[in-house]
């Protein structure tokens, strides 16, 4: 927070210097962070002329502004725009032509006036044209041979679509007009109010003025879209009028949105009820995007989703149905958190994404209890702890210094750690009190901006100890790392007490400093005779005691993370560890999962040997909950690759791993059962994929090969039979069939891929085609990436990612990545930093880390999110090397049965 304020102060001081002397722009540093507040927009008029069949579009933007101090320079944003004319028109005085120059790679635009612009109101008018972007800004997709235009403005795409003040703190209403071909549909954030026929085959479509929005939430789509009505969202509480709901999809695809449209209204109503505030916009359109680099985007009133998220139905795979509910609840939560109230600067991105992660899970779980979304939230938190254990991790509330830092913020720290921290304090404060604080926060900042401090103080004020709770909350967002709480039990006094210590959790090989102190909202459960009691405290300092004042005797066992709600890891004294293991069946499902995490985390930190971890896996595999069953499974894959000397040893190891998990797979069966819980289907899919792909189990592979061949039509008519295998198993079946079937199976998969527009099936076919060990077939799969117009850009990783997972195919993939780096990065932008992971897969030595650093340092320097991605990947490789070195003399053995 201090550094963020320093950035703002620097910008404001620079602006003051300009005002006092109308200094030439050359004397002032380019503002690559927040813009100065010398010129502030109050309303934007956007006139765009878009023909999707063309390579460029044109526009005029008219920005009403308030000039606070005299200046000859206006700082804005614009990237790759051809500015034909720019003029400042004061309310009083003469117009001035402005000289426009793009002065930074991030897209900072400098407009210079020949004379100082006087304080007061005016309009900046800019005429320009621009190319369509690549999955950001205004970009084109061509799913069916026809051209469509849609948008993705967050985080920095808006500046490629129009010149403006492209940062979250500038919120103002927008008016939009579009000149488009007569046959095309146009949708935008607000309702359409007027269509005017123009000379020639064009029309102008005008939209109502929006509520105050930042540039990154502006959205529109032009082309031969289907627009299908959904059910109105009925009045609810203080909202007395229905909300119009529509679906927008590529031509002929609108009918596939029936399920998603039918189920959207109850999500909206549930959110309204929680917030006590009506849905904050005039209408709601759900757009099914044929190509989209993000999963979804919360544009106000026009939410964009990958089309696969909008197209499930009642018969779809469990994972697809749950994805719709979860992502939709997440994006709709943003309409309040992010859209109604917006972060002031990107350092508070977690206010948007961490909140939507937490809230989306809450509403999804409320409406679909069988989804057990609390388990997913916990699993996300445990996943985030992996990145949070790196020395190069970032804080939740991380200073953003330039544009390369912004993309880095869209990660598990922001989403999962942010969401887990909110859940932890909600449970500690109390759900009702926490909701009261949320409501007050939204009411206080509606249609404006807010900061972390605003939210934290609002919810802490509803607790029993506002100052202590707020101080504790800040320790989780203003410093990196995972708290590690060591727990012992002292029953020598009048009442039993827990003896506590805290430090940062550090895995083997970590170079992070062993420092940090948190205000840990510690909630414990313990066995007091036949009663299980709960106690809580905010644990601060390096050490402390927690008296269990209600205990009648020395507890039989202690669970230091009650209900798994805390974002921290724990270690018990040996006696307590043994007792808790013996009480495993008495723990609730989330506690069993965090107990399993305490074991795998101890292994990661070097406190347990491989053999000790393997001895714990049968207990996890017998747990009732999917996430606990599979805890530690990934560690067996790592052991097999890096600790075993040859294929013979790996085969023997895999046979013993299979013996741990086979009883669970046999219990589930290979085929879905009528009326079974959704989690059974998801666990079956995970186990089948593990047995077929990692363990190479002959029986499972045989069954999946037969099923995959049936899908491909290899033993029959050659036609695609997508439903020949349960949908949750289709990706595994196709992969095995192509691996076993060689060229004939690859050819069949490619034929069906080229004929399909189903995003899910396309991705599964591509994944299968990219998973063989045949060098020639792998080369064919990689060549698809550069075939013009064939792949959607979000299909690049499915077709090559499988080659990153196999030691035999990695060298060719790295050579291809190295040779085509610029083209691949450009296709993936703004997510081009992911190329680092593609190249680095399987690297696990200091030499590998040095090679990666040398090869990619310059390449990643100006890539959004690139510098941090490279730094974290290099660190992870060095830690992998340290793990191998530490384990070299430790046996990898299973306990005798």
In the predicted model, what is the mean pLDDT of residues 115-140?
97
Q: How far apart are CA 374 and CA 626, in angstroms?
A: 13
How sure is the predictor about 10, in pLDDT bands with cuts at 50, 70 and 90? very low
User: What gap in Å lies between CA 19 and CA 118, rounded to an integer?
Assistant: 9
> Which residue's structure tokens are 């730094």?
871
What is the Cα–Cα distance from 239 to 311, expressed in whole angstroms?
A: 29
Q: Predicted confidence band at 9 (pLDDT cuts at 50, 70, 90)?
A: very low
Rounded CA separation 547/550 (Å): 9
**Residue 150 and residue 223: Cα distance in Å, rounded?**
9
Q: How far is C-alpha 562 from the geometric centre of its chain's CA atoms?
A: 27
Please say whether the beta carbons of 472 and 520 come within 8 A: yes
Complete edge-to-edge strand list for the sheet that includes strand 185-188: 137-141, 148-152, 220-223, 185-188
How many Å separate Cα 104 from the centre of its chain? 28
Do 664 and 650 form a contact (C-beta atoms < 8 A)?
Answer: no
Residue 691 DSSP code: I
Cβ pair 597, 631 in contact under 8 A: yes
Q: Can you give 191-226 as a three-state secondary structure string?
A: CEEEEEECCCCEEEEEECCCCCECHHHCCEEEECCE
Can you tell me the distance from the alpha carbon of 221 to that of 233, in angstroms, rounded to the nearest whole number? 23
3-state secondary structure at position 746: helix
SS3 61: strand
SS3 523: strand
User: What are the tens digits of pLDDT across the range 834-874?
Assistant: 999 999 999 999 999 999 999 999 999 988 889 999 999 99
Structural tokens at position 731: 């990706």
For 175, the 3-state DSSP assignment is strand
E strand or H helix at 564: none
**Residue 428 and residue 521 in contact, taking contact as beta carbons nearer than 8 Å:** yes
pLDDT per residue as tens digits for the range 685-738: 999 999 999 999 999 999 999 999 999 999 999 999 999 999 999 999 999 999
For all residues of the chain together, what is the average pLDDT?
A: 94
Distance CA 716, CA 65 (A): 68
Instruction: Assign 668 to helix, strand or coil.
Output: helix
Query: Strand order of the sheet with strand 202-207?
Result: 96-97, 82-90, 120-131, 56-67, 39-49, 174-181, 202-207, 192-197
- The answer to whether the beta carbons of residues 124 and 74 sit under 8 Å apart is yes
Which residues, other chains included, contact 135 with Cβ-Cβ below 8 Å and sequence gap of 6+?
152, 291, 292, 293, 793, 794, 829, 830
d(CA 471, CA 457): 9
Contacts of 181 (CB under 8 A, 6+ apart): 51, 52, 53, 201, 202, 203
Indicate the Cα dihedral angle 773, 774, 777, 782, nearest 10°: 50
Closest CA to 561 of 498, 612, 513, 514: 498
d(CA 721, CA 713): 7
Write the pLDDT tens digit of every residue in 625-679: 999 999 999 999 999 999 999 999 999 999 999 999 999 999 999 999 999 999 9
Residue 11 has pLDDT above 90, yes or no: no
Alpha carbon distances (Å) from 508 to 391, 598, 641, 882: 12, 15, 18, 7
Report d(CA 507, CA 604) in Å as an integer: 5
Report pLDDT for 27.
57
CA dihedral 660, 663, 664, 666 (to 10 degrees): 140
Q: What angle do CA 393, 167, 395 make, to 5 degrees?
A: 15
Over residues 347-384, the pLDDT tens digits come to 999 999 999 999 999 999 999 999 999 999 999 999 99
Q: What is the pLDDT of residue 4?
A: 30
Residues in the chain: 897
Residue 668: per-residue pLDDT: 97
Count of alpha carbons within 13 angstroms of residue 113, beta-carbon side: 21
Please give the residue that has the higher pLDDT: either 747 or 8: 747
pLDDT band at 196 (very low <50, low <70, confident <90, very high): very high
Give residue 108's pLDDT band: very low, low, confident or very high (50, 70, 90). very high
- pLDDT tier at 514, thresholds 50, 70, 90: confident
Report the C-alpha gap between 113 and 86 in whole angstroms.
10
Q: Which of 859, 836, 860, 862 is nearest to 849 (CA)?
A: 836
| pTM recorded for the entire structure | 0.94
Calpha distance 759→742 (Å, rounded) = 24
Contacts of 93 (CB under 8 A, 6+ apart): 118
- Mean pLDDT within 491-497: 95
User: Does residue 28 or residue 215 have the better pLDDT?
Assistant: 215
Smallest CA-to-CA distance from 153 within 140, 171, 139, 143 is with: 139
Split at pLDDT 50, 70, 90, the class of 515 is: confident
More confident residue, 81 or 895: 81
Q: Does the pLDDT of residue 18 top 80, yes or no? A: no
Name the token pair of 730: 């289709």
Determine contact, residues 626/319, Cβ cutoff 8 Å.
no
Euclidean distance between CA atoms 762 and 759, whole angstroms = 5
Q: What is the mean pLDDT of residues 177-187?
A: 98
Three-state secondary-structure class, residue 345:
coil
Q: Which residue has the tokens 């994929």?
A: 689
* CA–CA separation, 208 and 176 (whole Å): 8
């Amino acid at each position: 927070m201090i550094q963020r304020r320093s950035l703002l102060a620097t910008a404001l001081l620079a602006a003051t210097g300009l005002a006092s002397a109308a200094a030439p722009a050359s004397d002032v540093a380019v503002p690559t962070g927040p813009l100065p507040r010398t010129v502030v927009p109050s309303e934007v008029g956007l006139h765009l002329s878009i023909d999707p069949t063309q390579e460029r579009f044109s526009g005029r933007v008219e920005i009403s502004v308030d000039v606070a101090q005299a200046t000859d320079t206006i700082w804005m944003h614009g990237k790759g725009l051809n500015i034909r004319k720019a003029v400042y028109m004061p309310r009083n005085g003469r117009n001035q032509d402005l000289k426009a120059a793009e002065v930074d790679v991030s897209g900072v635009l400098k407009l210079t006036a020949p004379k100082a612009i006087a304080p007061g109101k005016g309009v900046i008018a800019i005429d320009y044209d621009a190319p369509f972007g690549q999955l950001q800004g205004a970009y084109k997709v061509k799913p069916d041979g026809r051209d469509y235009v849609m948008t993705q403005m967050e985080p920095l795409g808006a500046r490629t679509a129009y010149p403006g003040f492209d940062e979250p703190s500038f919120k103002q209403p927008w008016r939009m007009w579009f000149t488009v071909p007569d046959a095309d549909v146009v949708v935008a954030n607000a309702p359409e109010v007027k269509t005017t026929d123009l000379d020639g085959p064009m029309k102008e479509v005008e939209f109502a003025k929006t509520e105050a929005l930042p540039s990154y939430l502006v959205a529109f789509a032009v082309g031969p879209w289907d627009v299908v009505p959904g059910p109105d969202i009925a009045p609810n509480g203080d909202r007395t009028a229905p909300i119009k709901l529509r679906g927008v999809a590529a031509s002929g695809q609108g009918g596939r949105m029936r399920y998603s449209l039918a189920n959207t209204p109850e999500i909206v109503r549930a959110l309204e009820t929680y917030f006590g505030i009506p849905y904050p916009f005039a209408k709601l359109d759900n757009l099914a995007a044929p190509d989209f680099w993000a999963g979804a985007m919360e544009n106000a009133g026009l939410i964009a989703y990958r089309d696969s998220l909008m197209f499930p139905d009642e018969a779809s795979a469990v994972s697809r149905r749950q994805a719709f509910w979860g992502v939709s609840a997440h994006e709709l939560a943003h309409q309040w958190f992010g859209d109604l109230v917006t972060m002031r600067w990107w350092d508070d991105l977690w206010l948007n994404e961490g909140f939507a992660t937490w809230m989306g899970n809450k509403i999804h779980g409320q409406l679909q209890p069988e989804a057990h979304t609390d388990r997913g939230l916990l699993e996300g938190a445990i996943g985030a702890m992996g990145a949070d254990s790196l020395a190069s991790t970032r804080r939740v509330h991380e200073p953003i210094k330039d544009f390369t830092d912004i993309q880095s913020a869209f990660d598990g720290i922001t989403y999962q750690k942010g969401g887990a921290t909110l859940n932890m304090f909600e449970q500690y404060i109390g759900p009702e009190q926490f909701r009261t604080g949320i409501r007050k926060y939204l009411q206080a900042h509606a249609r404006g901006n807010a900061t972390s401090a605003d939210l934290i103080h609002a919810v802490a004020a509803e607790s029993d100890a506002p100052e202590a709770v707020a101080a504790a909350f800040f320790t989780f967002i203003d410093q990196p790392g995972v708290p590690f709480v060591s727990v012992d039990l002292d029953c020598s006094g009048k009442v039993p007490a827990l003896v506590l210590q805290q430090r940062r959790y550090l895995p083997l090989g970590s170079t992070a400093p062993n420092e940090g102190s948190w205000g840990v909202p510690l909630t414990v459960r313990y066995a007091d005779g036949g009663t299980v009691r709960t106690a809580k405290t905010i644990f601060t300092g390096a050490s402390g005691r927690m008296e269990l004042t209600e205990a009648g005797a020395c507890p039989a066992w202690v669970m230091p993370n009650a209900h798994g709600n805390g974002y921290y890891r724990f270690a018990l004294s040996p006696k307590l560890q043994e007792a808790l293991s013996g009480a495993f069946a008495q723990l609730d499902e989330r506690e069993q999962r965090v107990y399993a995490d305490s074991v795998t985390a101890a292994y990661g930190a070097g406190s347990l040997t491989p053999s000790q971890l393997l001895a714990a896996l049968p207990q996890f595999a017998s747990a009732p909950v999917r996430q606990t069953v599979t805890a530690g499974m990934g560690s067996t894959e790592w052991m097999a690759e890096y600790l075993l000397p040859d294929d013979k040893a790996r085969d023997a190891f895999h046979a013993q791993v299979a013996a741990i998990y086979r009883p669970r797979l046999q219990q589930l069966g290979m085929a879905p059962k009528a009326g079974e819980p959704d989690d059974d289907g998801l666990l079956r899919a995970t186990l089948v994929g593990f047995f077929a792909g990692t363990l190479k189990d002959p029986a499972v592979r045989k069954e999946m090969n037969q099923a995959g061949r049936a899908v491909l039509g290899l033993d029959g008519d050659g036609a695609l039979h997508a439903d020949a295998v349960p949908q949750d198993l289709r990706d595994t079946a196709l992969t095995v069939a192509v691996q076993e079937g060689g060229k004939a199976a690859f050819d069949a998969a490619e034929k069906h891929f080229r004929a399909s527009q189903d995003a899910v099936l396309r991705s599964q076919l591509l994944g299968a085609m990219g998973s063989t060990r045949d060098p020639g077939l792998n080369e064919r799969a990689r060549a698809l990436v550069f075939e013009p117009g064939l792949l959607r850009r979000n299909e690049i990783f499915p077709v090559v990612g499988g080659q990153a997972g196999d030691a035999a195919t990695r060298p060719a993939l790295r050579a291809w990545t190295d040779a085509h780096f610029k083209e691949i990065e450009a296709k993936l932008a703004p997510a081009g930093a992911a190329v680092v992971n593609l190249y680095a897969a399987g690297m696990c030595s200091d030499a590998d880390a040095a090679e990666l650093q040398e090869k990619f340092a310059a390449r990643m320097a100006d890539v959004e999110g690139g510098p941090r991605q490279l730094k974290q990947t290099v660190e992870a490789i060095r830690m992998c090397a340290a793990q191998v070195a530490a384990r070299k003399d430790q046996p990898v053995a299973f306990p005798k049965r």
